[in-house]
Amino acid sequence: MRNEIEKSFLVERRTSAFKICLYGIFTVLLSPVIIALHKHAGQTK
């Protein structure tokens, strides 16, 4: 029983770490796009 709990806990931690990694990569990739869009929006006004 204890083993099962530990296993599920490890899986939980792994998935949350994976989500954080994905979120970080996503943010880094999107930052230049968002900045470019903001600059473009500022120019058109």
Q: What's the whole-model pTM score?
A: 0.51
pLDDT in tens, 29-44: 999 999 999 998 888 7
Per-residue pLDDT, averaged over 18-23, amounts to 94
Calculate the average pLDDT of the chain.
Answer: 89
pLDDT at 26 over 90: yes
Confidence of residue 45 (pLDDT cuts 50, 70, 90): low
DSSP 45: -
Tokens of 10: 């490890």
- Give the separation between CA 12 and CA 19, rounded to whole angstroms: 11
DSSP 1: -
